[in-house]
A and B are shown apart, each in its own frame.
Chain A
Amino acid sequence: MAENLFLIIAALVIASAFWVVFSPNLIHSAVSLLFTLFSTAGLYIFLYADFIAATQVVIYVGGILVLIIFGVMLTNRIDTPSIAASSKNQFIGGMGAFSIFVIQVSVIFNTPWHIGTEQSRDSTVASIGYLLLNEYLLPFEIISILLLAALMGAALLSRRT
């Protein structure tokens, strides 16, 4: 049961990511990205990362994807039924991506990974909160300031002068 579910989720991730980069319609790409992000959250649940899965759904699907769809809508004529997303350099891009994939696969299968003993784990939220406020307090604060500055800069850049 869990095996089949894992296979279905993995196939969904790969198929929807395929359609994100190959679809001739930009809106179809954006909707396909929704499926990719959702099924990636499913993969996180398989990896016992409940908090990351929830964060993935809230921030990626609820935030970034909506932002991307707004970007599509604001930069195209939406009265045309299909927003074209043309591609070029397919051959070079395909060769480059495929060679990178081959290198990655050979590294994955030739490296003797250290597989530790399986840790049984409760909800990860408490430990992540502890880590963020102790060991990673400074990076946490710096990335908050970075996010604030980036959002203010984005609002400043895109306002109508």
Chain B
Amino acid sequence: MDSLQSYLIIAAILFSMGIYGVITRKNAVAILMGIELILNSANINFIAFNRFGGMANLDGHVFSIFVIVLAAAEAAVALAIVINLFKNVGSVDVDDADLLKG
């Protein structure tokens, strides 16, 4: 049960859930939550391969730290954009964000 495949399956389920959330949600913040799920599944894969690959070094851990930092930066910028969208359009529904449409 505690094998590489089980962790990869968990990460695959998380990734598919995140993709589903990004495709179907209309609220911009909910789309952001889907992106967080996708980044988490990538992190699980990094750590699982580092654990089961028999590597003596910890490169996978360092990469997952970079992924976490990128997720923090992405969440901050995306929420600033969402708040600006709310100020300009009055809703965070991504269907209403069509100001550039002619």
Interface residues of A (CB under 8 A from B): 2-3, 6-7, 10, 13-14, 17-18, 20-21, 26, 29-30, 33, 36-37, 40, 43-44, 46-49, 51-52, 55-56, 59-60, 63-64, 67-68, 70-72, 74-76, 85-90, 92-94, 96-98, 100-101, 104-105, 108-109, 113-119, 124, 127-128, 131-132, 135-136, 139, 143, 146-147, 150-151, 153-155, 157-158
Is B33 part of the contact surface with A, judged by Cβ < 8 Å? yes
**How many contacting A-B pairs (Cβ < 8 A)?**
233
A52 adjacent to B47 (CB under 8 Å): yes
Residues of B within 8 A of A14 (CB): 10, 13-14, 17
Residues from 1 to 37 in B contacting A, C-beta threshold 8 Å: 1-2, 4-10, 12-21, 23-30, 32-34, 36-37
Q: Is the interface of B mostly helix, strand, loop or mixed?
A: helix
- Quick check: B51 and A59 within 8 Å, CB to CB? no
Q: How many residues of B contact A (CB 8 A)?
A: 70
Q: Are B51 and A48 in contact (CB under 8 A)?
A: yes
In the complex, which of the residues B33, B47, B74 contacts A29, with contact meaning CB atoms closer than 8 Å? B33
B positions within 8 Å CB-CB of A: 1-2, 4-10, 12-21, 23-30, 32-34, 36-37, 40, 43-44, 47-48, 50-59, 61-62, 64-66, 68-77, 79-84, 86, 92
